[in-house]
């Protein structure tokens, strides 16, 4: 499959990967943030567990050549270059990767919940 278009839904924080055959795969901003290909997240052979990103959103999507995009998240993270191949891999392995991530959070006694509430106080 060849990736044709990316479409981001700001309110739902979902990125559609639209392929030339008409199929669509959907990745959440949270999933993309915690699986960033950046050295900051991947580490040097020791991947870093990224927690507290349930409410993260993508601020900008910038094309990089004909092979990928740079995603800038509203938590300030902007160093990951998402090759189209990598996005397709994430989409194909999403269920397995997500379950592994949830297990890692549990083992580390960490949470998906944001550290600072973005909800208005009543």
The predicted-structure confidence for 4-48, as pLDDT tens digits, reads as follows: 999 999 999 999 999 999 999 999 999 999 999 998 888 777 889
Report the alpha-carbon distance of residue 57 to residue 73 in Å, rounded.
6
Is CATH 3.30.2020.30 the classification given to domain 3-107?
yes
Q: Count other C-beta atoms under 10 Å from residue 92's C-beta.
A: 12
Q: What is the pTM of this model?
A: 0.91
**E strand or H helix at 29, and its extent?**
helix 29-34
Listed in order, strand segments (DSSP E) in 1-122 are 3-9, 14-19, 24-28, 58-64, 68-73, 81-83
**Is pLDDT at 58 greater than 90 in this prediction?**
yes
- Give the start-to-end residue ranges of the domains of the chain: 3-107
According to the model, what pLDDT value does residue 47 have? 85
Residue-wise pLDDT for 77-104, tens only, equals 999 899 999 999 999 999 999 999 999 9
- Residue 117: pLDDT band (50, 70, 90) is low
């Amino acid at each position: 499959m060849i990736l044709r278009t990316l479409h981001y839904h700001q309110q739902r924080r979902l990125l559609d990967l639209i392929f030339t055959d008409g199929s669509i795969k959907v990745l959440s901003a949270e999933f993309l943030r915690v699986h960033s290909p950046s050295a900051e997240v991947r580490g040097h052979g020791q991947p870093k567990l990224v927690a507290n990103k349930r409410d993260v959103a993508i601020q900008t999507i910038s094309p990089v050549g004909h092979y990928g995009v740079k995603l800038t998240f509203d938590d300030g993270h902007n160093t990951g270059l998402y090759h189209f191949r990598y996005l397709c891999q994430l989409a194909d392995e999403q269920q397995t990767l997500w379950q592994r991530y949830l297990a890692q959070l549990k083992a580390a006694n960490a949470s998906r919940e944001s550290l600072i509430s973005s909800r208005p106080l009543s």
